[in-house]
């Protein structure tokens, strides 16, 4: 396995490829993303262990969307079973993916627990959907400190897991090595990933502005509210489609890469 170094403008290409591939199979890729969201939501509702279980399944589910993207690139219609690709590649890789998921759950919950210590759990409850934020709460120093503690811890965690599921699946790396090489790839290609993130942020802001403006021009603000949620879900599915290209261009492929 060899790391590829790519120029900053590649970040723009990743966004374009993600959108272009999504529109090759929009129904399949959007449907798989909704299934992905449904699985995460249902898993998180299980008493006591739900959220930890959802975080454990997240790397495997993300890999499933990457496999779906690869099938769409090859002109195939991705079927729902691709979401189980991590568990259909053999027992050894399934155990490795579950271990990877457990490590992510521990890291995420650890970051959330540290933020809880800062402000007594206000940020954690808002982030996890258990409370509605008020303006006064969000302006509190402790709330903002907890938010930045979580962001500061979750950012390196995200970089470590960015490519890890794909490296476990397509390069058969052990979980710990996959975390290391994922972090190295993100840091060595920092500007490409920065451009990638900024492009998606700009796309998000343009989408929200366009829908809000449309509602205002039609004199129907409620229309903007009705359109915004499904539009954001479609944009999120395009984002997940683009993740495969960040992996493909960051590492040379193995001789025979399985689906």
Domain coordinates of the chain in residue numbers? 10-250
For residue 256, pLDDT over 60 is answered with no
| Residue 152, pLDDT above cutoff 90 | yes
Q: Which of 194, 182, 195 is nearest to 250 (CA)?
A: 182
Please determine, for residue 121, whether its predicted confidence score (pLDDT) is greater than 80. yes
- Contact criterion met (CB below 8 Å) for 122 and 131: yes
pLDDT for 139 equals: 82
pLDDT in tens, 205-216: 999 999 999 888
* CA dist 246 → 52, 120, 151, 153, 251 (Å): 27, 37, 22, 22, 9
Q: What is the mean pLDDT of residues 65-87?
A: 94
> How many angstroms separate the CA atoms of 259 and 230, rounded?
29
Distance of CA 224 to the CA centre of its chain: 25
Q: For residue 56, what pLDDT is reported?
A: 95
Return the pLDDT at 216: 85
Structure tokens belonging to residue 70: 């690869």
Does the model's pTM come out above 0.75?
A: yes
Q: Is 220 helix (H, G, I), strand (E, B) or coil?
A: coil
Give residue 53's region: left, alpha or beta (phi > 0; psi -120 to 50). Answer: alpha
Asked whether the beta carbons of 124 and 116 are under 8 A apart, the reply is yes
């Amino acid at each position: 396995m060899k790391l590829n170094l790519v120029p900053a403008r590649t970040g723009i290409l990743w966004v374009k490829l993600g959108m272009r591939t999504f529109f090759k199979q929009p129904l399949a890729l959007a449907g798989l993303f909704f299934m992905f969201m449904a699985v995460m939501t249902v898993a998180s509702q299980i008493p006591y262990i739900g959220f930890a279980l959802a975080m454990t399944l997240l790397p495997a589910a993300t890999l499933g969307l990457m496999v779906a993207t690869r099938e769409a690139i090859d002109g195939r219609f991705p079927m729902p079973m691709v979401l189980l690709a991590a568990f259909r590649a053999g027992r050894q890789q399934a155990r490795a993916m579950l271990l990877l998921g457990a490590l992510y759950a521990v890291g995420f919950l650890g970051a959330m627990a540290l933020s809880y210590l800062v402000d007594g759990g206000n940020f954690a409850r808002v982030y996890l959907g258990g409370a509605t934020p008020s303006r006064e709460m969000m302006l509190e120093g402790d709330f903002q400190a907890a938010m930045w503690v979580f962001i500061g811890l979750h950012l390196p965690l995200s970089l470590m897991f960015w490519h890890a599921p794909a490296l476990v699946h397509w390069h058969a790396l052990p979980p710990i090595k996959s975390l290391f090489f994922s972090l190295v790839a993100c840091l060595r290609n920092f500007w490409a990933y920065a451009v990638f993130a900024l492009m998606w942020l700009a796309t998000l802001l343009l989408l929200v502005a366009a829908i809000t403006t449309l509602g205002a021009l039609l004199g129907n603000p409620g229309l903007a509210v009705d359109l915004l949620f499904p539009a954001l879900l479609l944009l999120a599915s395009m984002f997940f489609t683009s993740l495969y290209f960040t992996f493909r261009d960051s590492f040379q492929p193995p001789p025979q890469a399985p689906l």
